Amino acid sequence: MTNKVQTPENDLMVETKGKLEVFFDKYGDKLLKAVIGIAIVAVVVFVAVSVVKGSTQKKEQAAQAALTVALTSDATVEAYEAIIAEYEGTAAANTATYIAGAEMLKAGDVEAAKAMLAKYEDGKGVAAEVINGLVYTLRGDIAVEENDLQSATDLFGKALAASADVQTWETNSVKLALVYTAMGDVVKAEETYEALVARFPELKQKYSKYIAE
């Protein structure tokens, strides 16, 4: 394997860590919109398949109903915060925590988003695993904003481990490779692309130019 590997945005990023922000300024909003889109689908699936037992059933059902209303009415962050406060401990409130944090980050309030996403607890099940991955992605984005690139690599790595769907893997692999590039570790950046195309061969043509022959 060679260190002479072409990487996207290379001319903007190799000199200083701060130049990684150029990529996120350019593409971050599009990526976040895609992430939120996946989350909405995942939440709808989660609400549809959740089976709640015991004394928490009514509370969970009420929380799910409130979350569904919020999702279908283009609710504000305050609406999701109200769900979190009223239905604390429910799966729906946990999902609302993710959505509120995502919207805060989209609005540019990094500190509020960081505090909100820190409250999220990993869920179980296929739909929850997607949301788990999305939370790690957003936390990785926040680490980049704070120029904590080592933490960003850990968080994007956890996002990859949390969910196996192709869009999540592609998004986090590219972000991880860009962070490695900003850190000057082009070998790991190349290995990240190699792992991506090995897992999803249909993406080989798209990313082969970033992998040395």
What is the count of structural domains for the chain? 1
3-state secondary structure the chain: CCCCCCCCCHHHHCCCHHHHHHHHHHHHHHHHHHHHHHHHHHHHHHHHHCCCCHHHHHHHHHHHHHHHHHHHCCCCHHHHHHHHHHCCCCHHHHHHHHHHHHHHHHCCCHHHHHHHHCCCCCCCCHHHHHHHHHHHHHHHHHHHHCCCHHHHHHHHHHHHHHCCCHHHHHHHHHHHHHHHHHCCCHHHHHHHHHHHHHHCHHHHHHHHHHCCC
pLDDT at 7: 43
How distant is the alpha carbon of residue 26 from its chain centre? 17
Q: Is residue 67 part of a domain?
A: yes
| pLDDT tens-digit series, residues 14-61 | 333 444 555 455 545 545 555 555 555 555 555 554 544 555 788 888
| pTM of the predicted structure, to 2 decimals | 0.75
Closest CA to 125 of 68, 54, 46, 53: 46
Q: Is residue 28 part of a domain?
A: yes
| pLDDT tens-digit series, residues 88-104 | 999 999 999 999 999 99
Q: Is residue 44 part of a domain?
A: yes
- Please count the other Cβ atoms lying within 10 Å of the Cβ belonging to residue 170: 16
What average pLDDT does the segment 137-159 reach?
94
Q: Is residue 4 part of a domain?
A: no
Angle at CA of residue 4, ends 194 and 199, nearest 5°: 5
Give the CATH number for residue 113: 1.25.40.10
Range of the domain at 28: 10-210
CA–CA dist 160, 154 (Å, integer): 10
Q: Is residue 5 part of a domain?
A: no
Q: Is residue 1 part of a domain?
A: no
Q: Is residue 159 part of a domain?
A: yes
pLDDT at 80: 93
In the structure, what pLDDT confidence band is assigned to residue 125 with cuts at 50, 70 and 90?
confident
pLDDT at 120: 95
CA–CA dist 132, 128 (Å, integer): 6
Q: Is residue 3 part of a domain?
A: no
CB of 9 closer than 8 Å to CB of 23: yes
